[in-house]
Structure 1
Amino acid sequence: MLGRMQESTADPGGRGILGRVRVADASARVTTFELFFDLVYVFAFTQISMLMADTHTAFGVLQALIVLGLLWWTWCAYSWLANQAPADQGVLQVGMGVAMIAIFLVALVIPEAYEDLPGGWSGPLVLALAYTLVRLVHTGLYLVAAGDDRALRVQVLRTQAVAMVPAAVALIVGAIMGGAAQTWIWLAAFAWDVVFTYASSRGGGGWRLHSPAHWAERYGLVVILALGESIVAIGVGVAREPIDAAIALGTVFAVVLSILLWWAYFARIAEAGEHALQRRADASRVVLARDAYTYLHFAIVAGVILAALGVEDAMAHVGETEPFGGFGAAALASGLALYLLATAAFGRIVDLPWSRVRVGTAVALAASIPLLAVFAPMGALAVAVVVVAASLALEGVVQARRAATPRVP
């Protein structure tokens, strides 16, 4: 049974600033237009991975993660909007269409986000201005979707004023300055937006969350998009190489690893998240959605993309016997560790017991980076698959024993 609808002061018709829109109810699901909207993020995730691979440094990975954070914040903003009002309505479709174009421009200039290419416009400035446009369009659409819900309109304006506007200005300033300062200014801008959005939403603020089913499905789909990048990474590393036994075996390991990551989320914890949202109402539901999804899922997605970078690096040298190297080993192991740790935290927040198995495996993977670095790329992939598979198998045994243990009244 779906949870009861989030209470609000909005009238049922949702009469907004630019006209009447339909407010979402508790049975709302993800619309096809939202799926269409997400297509630009598929390209963006691929561009992020390419930026990491091209720089091949820890600092380059940090720069790419900052851009990923900016993209994530835009995606989350529109996920909240679509839960307030279904995205298959005219004014929302037009606005989100404009946002799609701007997001695609952001994705397009990711390779020159920090080092502008000769000729043409300034890549960093285009990224900063396009990002700002995406956020401004979102603000306008949210005010429309809020209708006569004064508390929600105030919340939207307050959050944008204290969080989004200063961050957007800092991004533009950083793009103009360029050089090493740009990275740190952009990092500060992203951190400002994240921290002050949270601070302006204490206790749930005036935000609304109408449909737990829509919300859980929406975030499950973005995890799928990230896992899709891990599949793409397999092909990127060997797409121009003649097929042989090493490539075939490496592909088996890499695809199995992606399946295991899918299993760790969708077969073990995704449903618990939706049920936890259904058990809550009003501000309590909003807080859970904010903490477990908007904030914590960034770590889940970042973990997948880091692991995909490691997979791509391994597949590019899958037939070689030389050591994998520190960069590829760190990307693969730290990405998997972050993913397992974040999913364990998500499970705990949505009322599941702590998965000590996942936490222990995450620590072991992080500690194994020096060991994986001396393995051949194929060996490093094989070790990663065995460790994650063993972890999920052990977790399944623990869960089965827990379920079989009689509960003491």
Structure 2
Amino acid sequence: MTGQAGESHRTTAFELFFDLVFVFAATRVTVLMAGEHGVHGLLQGLLLLALLWWTWEGYTWLGNQARADDGVVRGGMAVASAAVIVMALTVPEAWRDAPGGLDGPLVLVGAYVLVRATHLTVQFAVDGAVVGTAAGTGAMAGGGEGARRRLGLSWATLLAVVPLLVAGALLGGWAQTALFAGALAVDRAGTHLAARRGGLWIGDAARWSERHGLFVLLAIGESAAIAGVGVAERAVSVPLLAGGVLGIAVAVCLWWLYFDVVAPAAEHRLVRALGVIRVKMVVEGYTYGHFPIVAGVIVTGLGVQGVLAHAGEGVALGGFNASVLYGGAALYLGGHVLFGGLMHGVLSLPRLLAIGALLAGLPVAIALPPLAALAGLTLVLVVLVAVETTRFAEQRRDLREA
């Protein structure tokens, strides 16, 4: 049996465990991007992040209908967790199989297909259980016929995607990148068409903000930890310690910029919205709008890792490390601007100016020593935090009281 999610159903401990597994896989993508050390590697990493993100979103929508720590949903998420761990372990070989052992790209594709197929199988069971409870509840879930049509289209999309992924894994190189991108486009188009069948509903609105906030928090923490682990073999030195302190300062700023006002304000707006407006906000603001935020965290973490790896060496940071460091932070802030526009219909001028400062400073950062470039990023973020903390002091107080 599967317990139905209620109006006040919040994130369970099992969902938090599930999120940790996905965030671990997402942060493993930095290993691939660091190894490739170029534009192609960045594209590969972003494609894998997108595949992981949309898969996680599918299970998040599933948890909107049924309790994740109960019955068939718990079993399905346990299977998915194991498959995601397999994906995480094969990420460094996603485009280039290492000598010996299994074929890394094919194992990655197989694990991904298993995660998706498990989700759709569990969704079928949940739809049947929810529709069978009562006519009123079934209408909330989209109705039996509508749910079957959406599920059938989702299965058809997955079956169309598998040949593209397998062919890409066999070909490798830029052909694999193109085929994986095509698979992602087909997957998104199919999911969009399935969603247009109607009948989507949001149970506890605050739960959506909570789930996505936890994912962002875990991504920030994991990225900071992996940046430190990446230089664990280096001898302790003043430059290394200084880089570590600056890296944590960047992580704190990323946390502050999301959780101080943005997350509670968006949650407050979502709770007040009703019906199709609420669904539209969740789909656009959270399902789509949060991907650049999470990707920005991961890419920025890769940049910090590159700084720590070369701290104190007396060489320029270089094009790749500077691009991911400043570009990742700009992507993160760009995601915030998009999220704010979708949720509140306004664009943040301070964050747009900060993005401009980062992009303008990128050519300079390429030629700077690693610690100086990281200090420049930290300065931009600290100034932005200070400006917004002052500017939104009254709004923050109102949100706390609410």
Q: TM-score, normalised by structure 1?
A: 0.89
- In the other structure, the counterpart of 1:245 is 238
For residue 392 of structure 1, report the CA deviation from its aligned partner: 2.1
- Greater relative CO (CA pairs within 8 A, separation 6+): 1
The residue correspondences of 1:9-20 to structure 2 (distance < 5 A) are 20=1
Tell me which residue corresponds to 1:210.
203
1:26-83 deviation line (CA, Å, top 9, x unaligned): 1000011111112322331232011111111111111111111111111111111111
Tell me which residue corresponds to 1:10: none
- Opposite residue 210 of structure 1, the aligned amino acid is G
1:35 matched to 2:16: yes
Q: Give the Cα separation in 1 of the matches to 2:395 and 2:211.
A: 30
Q: Which amino acid aligns with 2:235?
A: P
Which 10-residue stretch deviates more, 247-256 or 329-338? 247-256
The one of 162, 167, 177 equivalent to 1:173 is 167
The 2-side partners of 1:116 and 1:345 are apart by: 37
Deviations 1:138-181 (A, max 9, x none): 01111222221315523541441454332233212222333431
The 5 Å alignment of 1:193-208 reads 193-202=187-196, 205-208=198-201
Aligned residues of 1:205 and 1:283 also touching (Cα < 8 A)? no
Alignment partners' CA distance in 2, 1:155 and 1:281: 25
Once residues 226 and 21 of structure 2 are traced to their aligned partners in structure 1, the CA distance between those partners, rounded to angstroms, is 17
Q: How does 1:223-234 map to 2 (within 5 A)?
A: 223-234=216-227
Aligned to 2:317: 324
SS at match of 2:392: helix
CA distance in 1, matches of 2:338, 2:186: 23
1:260 has 2:259 as partner = no
Root mean square deviation, CA, Å? 2.0
The separation in 1 between residues aligned to 2:274 and 2:368, in whole angstroms, is: 50
Structure 1: how far apart are the matches of 2:339 and 2:305? 27
Tell me the alpha carbon deviations over residues 274-297 of structure 1, each in whole angstroms, 9 at most, x when there is no partner: 222212223222221111111111
Percent identity of paired positions between Structure 1 and Structure 2 = 41
Query: How far 1:342 moved relative to its partner?
Result: 0.8
Q: Secondary structure at the match of 1:24?
A: coil
**Inter-partner Cα distance in structure 2 for 1:208 and 1:138:** 18
Which residue matches 1:307? Answer: 300
Contact 2:154 2:190 in 1 (8 A): no
Point out the more displaced range, 306-315 or 35-44: 35-44
Match of 1:342 among 288, 312, 335: 335
| Structure 1: tracts of 5 or more residues without a match | 1-19, 405-409
Is 2:45 aligned against 1:64?
yes
Question: Any idea what the Cα deviations from partners look like across 1:296-316, whole Å, max 9, x if unmatched?
Answer: 111001001111111000011
Asked whether the 8 Å contact 2:120–2:155 carries over to 1, the reply is no
Question: Which of the numbers 372, 375, 382 marks the counterpart of 1:389?
Answer: 382
Shift of 1:400: 4.7
8 Å Cα contact 1:233-1:311 kept in structure 2: no
- The answer as to whether partners of 2:150 and 2:195 remain within 8 angstroms in 1 is no
Of the three residues 114, 125, 139, the one matched with 2:120 is 139
Which structure shows the higher helix fraction? 2
Name which of structure 1's ranges 226-235 and 134-143 shifts more when overlaid on structure 2: 226-235
TM-fit CA distance, 1:324: 0.7
Note if contact 2:47-2:181 (Cα within 8 Å) is conserved in structure 1.
yes
Q: Which residue of 2 aligns with 1:190?
A: 184
Partner of 2:58: 77
TM-score by length of 2: 0.90
**How far apart are the structure 1 equivalents of 2:149 and 2:304?**
42
In structure 2, list runs of 5 or more residues that go unmatched. 132-137, 139-143, 398-402
What is the rounded CA distance, in whole Å, between the counterparts of 2:269 and 2:311 in structure 1? 42
Tell me which of 275, 281, 288 is aligned to 1:282.
Answer: 275
Is 1:95–2:76 an aligned residue pair?
A: yes
Find the aligned partners of 1:403 and 1:136 in 2 and give their Cα distance.
Answer: 43
Query: What's 1:14 paired with?
Result: none
1:2-26 Cα shifts (integer Å, max 9, x gaps): xxxxxxxxxxxxxxxxxx4222121
Aligned length: 384
The answer to whether the Cα contact below 8 Å between 1:167 and 1:192 also exists between their aligned partners in 2 is: yes
- Given candidates 370, 379, 384, the residue that maps to 1:377 is 370
Cα pair 1:246 1:318 within 8 Å, conserved:
yes
SS in 1 for 2:110: helix
Aligned-partner Cα distance in 2 for 1:350–1:97? 33
Distance change in 2, residues 1:403/1:144 (3 Å): closer
Tell me, in whole angstroms, the C-alpha distance in 2 between the residues paired with 1:108 and 1:237: 16
